[in-house]
Chains A and B, each alone.
Chain A
């Protein structure tokens, strides 16, 4: 009896070596199941966002946490991104004698691409990791089970306010990143390298179109949904992880929440860009 159990464990461990195709199939089925679970998790929390009574106070607290507290780090990264774009762009464009185009280079790359993506990655690092850890600890200390027992929907109570707050804050943070980045480009291109400020800003105004701005905002809204869904999902299902329980499970959930969010942000960015262009 015991022998049979030991034999079963060894055989299942060996199956990766003995039958790689089955192992691959098992892995793919796991990935597809996980994607489906994340999608259901997102749609449920999105639907519960509109259930009455609205949780204005909780949403406000989350906007404070996700939005207001990220302003400083967004300004800092935005300014230096814009400054380095100004520096790099100037030294490339001056070879073609068209350094007047610096404004267009900085503004378009910020508004279309770098603003949404970098703001999303900074928010993942600052707020996403905290969300995953918070929800994870609530799970392992059985607070989520307690909510269930009291007939409070944990998705509505925990995830929906965060989702609403992120959907509101991310476009604002992205706009802040864009504007601070454009000013950063002005600092390095115009004040340090000597392009006329009037040419810099008038070139920005002629080259940026409404489609660029709306494209950036669509991206930032999608990224907000991705960040909150994945970080909450990782925390929410901490207890189902096979690699570790308790505190170790929370640490693993937080790590994978940040890594998976960043990867998915970059992948959806490519997909969205190819759809929007």
Chain B
């Protein structure tokens, strides 16, 4: 009886602990076990300041993927690998632009739909891109009257 109650309480403790570990690693840490449900497209930007792996990718305000990695290209441009959820179809003339949520908020990529018939496959590159807006530059242009 005594031994069984110890085993039960250890079992309950393990169960609760493992549920918490699972929540932290899978839900919050975005750990992917099996082949994930997405494909990767590339995009080149002049500047991606503030964009991090894990940032959101949206189309019409709906999350359709996330940033996989950000690196520097051979010709000194930023190369971004974007993970798009399977089932979302992008054509080769979509426009990827870097936006900011709020004044000091997170950077994210917004994709505007295109009208072409050629569909992007995994590994293809989005050619039309818009780099991050530099708010300080805009303000200084306004203040010093270059607009």
A interface with B by C-beta (< 8 Å): 60-61, 63-64, 67-68, 71, 98, 107, 111, 169, 171-173, 175-176, 178-179, 204-206, 208-210, 212-214, 216
Indicate if the CB atoms of B24 and A111 lie closer than 8 Å.
yes
Residues of the B chain whose Cβ atoms lie less than 8 Å from the Cβ of A68: 9-10, 12-13
Main secondary structure of the interface of A (DSSP, over half): helix
Binding site secondary structure of chain B: helix
Residues of B within 8 A of A171 (CB): 17, 21
| Complex Cα spacing A213 to B29, Å | 7
Assuming the A-B contacts A71-B16, A210-B30, are A64 and B25 also in contact, with contact meaning beta carbons closer than 8 angstroms in the complex? no
Verify if B7 is at the interface (C-beta below 8 Å from A).
yes
Interface centre among B7, B10, B24, B27 (most CB of A within 10 A): B24
Known A-B contacts A206-B106, A210-B30; A176 and B17 likewise in contact (beta carbons under 8 Å): yes
Cβ of B133 under 8 Å from chain A? no
Select B28's contact among A60, A64, A98, A213, beta carbons within 8 Å: A213
Cα separation A60 to B105 with both chains bound (whole Å): 48
Distance, CA A87 to CA B55, complexed state (A):
27
Contact between A60 and B24, CB atoms less than 8 A apart: no
Knowing A68-B10, A172-B21, the reply to whether A204 touches B28 (Cβ < 8 A) is yes
Question: B129 CB to closest chain A CB, in angstroms?
Answer: 22
A64, B10: Cβ atoms under 8 Å?
A: yes
How far does the Cβ of B66 sit from chain A's closest Cβ, in whole Å? Answer: 9
**A63 contact from B13, B28, B106, Cβ within 8 A:** B13
On chain B, the residues within 8 Å of A61 by CB distance are 6
A208 to B31, alpha carbons, bound, how many Å? 12
A71-B24 in contact (CB<8A): no
Contact residues in A for B6 (Cβ distance below 8 Å): 60-61, 64
Interchain CB contact under 8 A, A213 and B25: yes
Please measure, in the bound complex, the distance between the C-alpha atom of A235 and the C-alpha atom of B31, giving whole angstroms.
41
B20's contact among A63, A98, A175, A210, by CB below 8 Å, is which?
A: A175
Is B118 on the interface with A (CB-CB < 8 A)?
no
Provided the pairs A206-B54, A206-B106 are in contact, do residues A71 and B27 lie with their beta carbons within 8 angstroms?
no
- Are A176 and B24 within 8 A (Cβ)? no
Closest beta carbon of chain A to B127's beta carbon, Å: 28
Closest to A180 in B: B20
Do the beta carbons of A179 and B13 come within 8 Å of each other? no
Given the contacts A60-B6, A209-B54, A176 and B25 also touching, CB distance less than 8 Å = no
Verify B17–A172 contact, CB threshold 8 A. yes
Q: Within 8 Å of chain A (Cβ to Cβ): is B138? A: no
